[in-house]
Amino acid sequence: MRFSSNLILWYKQHKRDLPWRNTRDPYRIWISEIILQQTRVNQGLSYYCKLVEKYPDVHALANADEDELLRVWQGLGYYSRARNMHHTAKVVAYKMDGIFPDSYHELIKLKGIGSYTAAAISSICFNEHQTVVDGNVFRVLSRLFGVDTPINTAQGKKQFEKLAHELNDGGESGLFNQALMEFGALHCTPKQANCASCIFAAQCYASRHGKVDVLPVKEKKQKVKERYLNFFFVHDAYGNTLIQKRVMKDIWQGLYQFVLNETKEETGVEDMMPDLLGLYNGSKNIKRVDRCTHKLTHQKLYIQFIEVEVEKLGANDVSGYEIVSMSDLGNLAFPKPLERYLKDFKVR
């Protein structure tokens, strides 16, 4: 039996029942694919449900407020996905009469849609003969055929694309693509692959040669940069706080933060007081200092939260920051560690 037929049979037996698998509406498939970029199904599932309920069609999403959209996206990470999605929704709604392009080559022109997502949407929604190559595909094919070309090189990517496309020969590209990814996600997993019960074990190079744990090959990772972020959570007796939208090209673009002083190294609160003096010219009271670390893929953040109570926040005291009532913070998106701080703050 052909590999593609065998794979699709496996898929029909083992696939998970997921909400985006009950539709071929390009809007919904698009939302699901953006969410699932570098994100596991279990992590993205609730976000998908929230998004399609709040924004049932591309017009609703196009008309959304960006802060509101980022708040829905809060906690999922890679926030450029949300900003690009919003941009593309406006393009589709206002320049394409709300109709998504129906081909790979048109889809890939849209912001946030790269080769993977264009292949996924065009194959799943329009049955175009395109083949997805994601982390699952790299893993399954490298093991099955013993391909040890590093997957994070241009050569490797081309080689796997060619191989995947040759295998996708059954005229059901949407099914084939989802089947291959599902097989990687559920069966041919990164750790402890289920070789004992694998339908392909007899022909699998890695299984026969004991190389399951060394494939796929990936070239060394980038190193992690360390940063020291000192946030002043300033509030007054009237429940007002000081916040700022992050606009720089940096992590957490578009999200909100407290008064920030970033330093080159671990810095005591006393040494940062001069900066704070310039920010608020009335009397102030440092109530509490909390510390935490936060790991990103490429950065390790050493975070201090300095709670500062002042008498009354007024427009004359601050520049570059907004005065916002504590009760309105729930409508804005904050980075994970700041959201956690706010949650703890409310409890105590």
Q: Which is nearer to DNA, 103 or 299 (CB)?
A: 299
Q: Give min distance, CB of 301 to DNA, in A.
A: 8
Q: Give min distance, CB of 190 to DNA, in A.
A: 4
Rounded to whole angstroms, the Cα distance separating 92 from 73 reads: 20
Instruction: Enumerate binding residues for DNA (CB under 7 A).
Output: 18, 20-21, 32-33, 36-43, 75-80, 84, 110-118, 120, 134-136, 138-139, 153-155, 178, 181-182, 184-185, 190-192, 216, 218-219, 221-222, 225, 249-253, 294-299, 335-337
Q: Give min distance, CB of 148 to DNA, in A.
A: 13
Owner of token pair 């953006």: 34
Sign for the pseudo-dihedral over CA of 132, 136, 139, 144: negative
Q: Which residues are CB-neighbours of 135 under 8 A, at least 6 positions away?
A: 184
Q: Give min distance, CB of 300 to DNA, in A.
A: 8
Q: Give min distance, CB of 276 to DNA, in A.
A: 25
Q: Give min distance, CB of 314 to DNA, in A.
A: 31
Phi, psi of 138 (to 5 degrees): -55, -50
Q: Which residues are CB-neighbours of 327 under 8 A, at least 6 positions away?
A: 239
For this structure, is 66 an active site residue?
Answer: no
Look at residues 332, 335, 257 and name the one whose alpha carbon lies nearest to residue 66: 332
DSSP per-residue string spanning 224-273: PEEEEEEEEEEEETTSEEEEEE--SSSTTTT-EE-EEEEESS---HHHHH
Sign for the pseudo-dihedral over CA of 166, 168, 173, 176: negative
Strands 256-257 and 299-310: unpaired
Q: Which is nearer to DNA, 159 or 286 (CB)?
A: 159
Owner of token pair 């703050």: 345
Element (H, E) at 195: none
3-state secondary structure of 173: helix
**H helices then E strands: how many in the chain?**
14, 7
Q: Which is nearer to DNA, 104 or 280 (CB)?
A: 104
3-state secondary structure of 15: coil
**Residues recognised as catalytic:** 33
